Structures are given as structure tokens and as C-alpha cells.
Structure 1
Amino acid sequence: MKQGEAKNEIREPFTDYGTYSYADYLTWQIDEMVELIKGKVFKAAAAPGRKHQEVSLKIASQLYYLLKNKTCKVFEAPFDVRLPAHSEKNEDIFTVVQPDICVVSDRTKLDEAGCIGAPDLIVEILSPGNNPKEIYNKF
């Protein structure tokens, strides 16, 4: 908690350029999709376009039918993938991404919040709106 903040005060993102954790992320009441990469907030571009959604649906559908009777699960954004460095505590996780599509075969990585740890497969569909900084940092 930063100096001068009340214990129950909700910290909104983008108000300063500090380092944020998944615990902070969970308190934000915003409508837009954001991701945390090494504690820094990255706003998603505007809603994906029609072509992006068509490609996403085709890939996710094929994966779903391919893996239908397997232990693997297919998820589409928005779906939080938390990447802990040292601890799985929310306040110690500084990278949370929302891949367009991901496949998780180890069901112990799944909880109500999404996935904790790297999925077995991640698909990111690039769009003209993706900026180089976003692509570099997310990669």
C-alpha cells in the first residue's frame, strides 16, 4: 500500500507509474481490458475487429474439437493467465496476460480466477492495431 492510502481504498490503474500486482488488478473497477507485464499496466487496443474474431473462433473451435475427449481445456479471452515468478500469492504476481486462445492440459493450474502458470499452448492473433511495444513486452 502506498503512503497516504486508506486500507480499503481502491487504487485505479494508470493514476501513477508504479508497479502493480495481481492483488491490485483485482481491485480495479474498469470496463476496458488490461494486462500486467512485470508489474506495468498495458491497456488492450479497442475491441478486436471482425476478422480477428473470425480467426479466433476458427482456431479455438478446431482446438476444442481436436481436444474434446482429452484432459486439455481450451479457453478464449478474456481469461486471466497469471505467471508467478516466486510465489502464487496474488500480491506477489506481477504478470497477468489474456491470450486470445490458450490450451491447458494440467488441470491443477486452473482455478476460478483462470490459470496460474504457463498454459501448454498460447495463440495470439496479431492485428494492425497491435503496437510493437505491446508485442515485444507480451512476447
Structure 2
Amino acid sequence: MPLPKEDRYTLADALAWDEQDRIELIDGAPVMMAPPSRAHQEALMELSAQLHAYLRGKKCKVYPAPFAVRLFEREGERPEDVDTLVEPDISVVCDPSKLDDIGCKGAPDLIVEILSPSTTRHDRFTKFNLYQRAGVREYWIVDPVDKSVQAFLLEDGRYSAKDFGAAGDKIRVSVLEDCTIDLSRVFQE
């Protein structure tokens, strides 16, 4: 991988990197991502499975990581000009015009991040603010250690705490009509 090249990296650089390198770009700064834990992957698979089952036959689609999301890319923008690229653990996109061969251009409707020891601060602060600024309608932070979910809903450009769930609870996805996630299946003993 050609790091370090300069102070600012773009989508054009990221597209040239090795596919097994897990790197996000936040305002042109590369952020390396450690491999996820087993608990992280088990939560990811169960959440993705429940969302996929609910969305079968519907317009919205669920995409588990790795899936490139260019939160601020504008129509016709060149890869050399796109400097923010994230790989949320789970993205739900309801507008098919946002999808292309690379991933998603613009804000998904729902993003789920599953905490790992190396990503807790990044997910709770950096990505929280980034997703809020980009207009992601609903953001979930899943903690596999505490076996809990915090759900935030975008209202008037700011996130407000919508729901909190723990192992054994069922939690509603606000941006998907009648969609409920069974956390007892996400946080199995």
C-alpha cells in the first residue's frame, strides 16, 4: 500500500489499495481498522440476517461490511475529489439511485456500528458526528461486550437518543416501518 504519500488521500487512492487492507478516509486522513472480534462478527451476522429477512422483496437493501460509503460525494464528482470513505458494519439504503459498483454515494438511511476495543472512540464520537453531519437518518451503536444497543434518530439535523436495548429486548428500527430486531438472537449466551 502506498502510504504515506501525502497529507490528504482520496477515493482514487483508496481504489488502488489492496482489498484486504481495511482503511477508512475521514476528511482525507486514513484510519486503519483492526480485524473484528468473533463477538463483533456474530452480532454483525445476526443483525444483517434479521434486516435481510425483513427487507426481502422491499425497495431498501442491507449491506454488511465491507461496503464503501462515500457520505458526501456529489453527483459527477471525481474520485480525486472525494476525501471521506467509511465502511460501516451495516448499511441500509432505501434510495437505489445512491448505489453503484463501488458502494453508496451519500448517506444510507440506517447505519449500524458494532463496537470493538479499537473502534469504540471512533464509532461513538468521530463517526457519530460524521453520520449526523451527512444526514444518516438513524444510527445504531451496538456493544457486544455490554450486550446493548443505543439507537439515535436524526431530528432537525441533530441526533437524539431514540431507544436503548439490551440482551432479551426487542428494538424497533424507526426508518423501516414495522421492523423490529430481536436482541436475544443478537446477544446469545
Does residue 112 of structure 2 align to residue 123 of structure 1? yes
Does residue 75 of structure 2 align to residue 93 of structure 1? no
Choose between structure 1 and 2 for higher RCO, CA contacts under 8 A separated by at least 6 residues: 1
Does residue 63 of structure 2 align to residue 75 of structure 1? yes
Is contact 2:74-2:105 (8 Å) kept?
no
Task: Name structure 1 gaps, 5 residues minimum.
Answer: 1-10
Residues 1-139 of structure 1: matches in 2 within 5 Å?
A: 12-13=2-3, 15-16=4-5, 18-29=7-18, 31-45=20-34, 47-84=35-72, 88-132=77-121, 134-135=122-123, 136-139=125-128
C-alpha offsets along residues 74-117 of structure 1, whole Å, 9 cap, x if unaligned?
A: 00000000122556321111100000001000000001111110
Is contact 1:99-1:124 (8 Å) kept?
yes
CA-atom RMSD in angstroms: 1.8
Aligned partners of 2:45, 2:72: CA distance in 1, in Å? Answer: 29
How many equivalent residue pairs? 126
Aligned partners of 1:81, 1:99: CA distance in 2, in Å? Answer: 8
Aligned partners of 2:29, 2:127: CA distance in 1, in Å? Answer: 11
C-alpha offsets along residues 32-61 of structure 1, whole Å, 9 cap, x if unaligned?
A: 20000010000002x211111111111111
Structure with greater strand percent: 2
Is contact 2:71-2:105 (8 Å) kept?
yes
Q: Identity over the aligned pairs, expressed in percent?
A: 46
Is contact 2:24-2:32 (8 Å) kept?
yes
TM-score using structure 1 length: 0.82
